[in-house]
Amino acid sequence: MSANDNRKIDEGAIRDLVENWARAVRTKNLDGILSNHSPDMLMFDVPPPIQSKGIEAYRKTWDLFFSWSKASGVFDISEMNITAGNDVAFVTALMRCAGTEANGDKIELEFRLTIGLRKIDGQWIVMHEHHSIPAS
Over its length of 136 residues, how does the chain's per-residue pLDDT go in tens digits? 787 888 899 999 999 999 999 999 988 899 999 999 999 999 998 888 889 999 999 999 998 888 776 655 778 898 999 999 999 999 999 998 877 777 788 878 889 999 999 999 999 999 999 999 887 7
| pLDDT recorded at residue 60 | 94
Alpha-carbon gap, residue 104 to 79, rounded angstroms: 29
Phi-psi region of 19 (alpha: psi -120 to 50; beta: other; left: phi over 0): alpha
Provide the 10 A C-beta neighbour count for residue 121. 5
Alpha-carbon gap, residue 132 to 46, rounded angstroms: 6
Residues contacting residue 28 through CB under 8 Å, at least 6 positions apart: 66, 72
DSSP 7: H
Count of domains for the chain: 1
| pLDDT recorded at residue 52 | 96
The CATH code of the domain that includes 92 is: 3.10.450.50
Domain range enclosing 105: 3-132
Q: Is the separation of the CB atoms in 131 and 110 below 8 Å?
A: no
pTM above 0.85, yes or no: yes
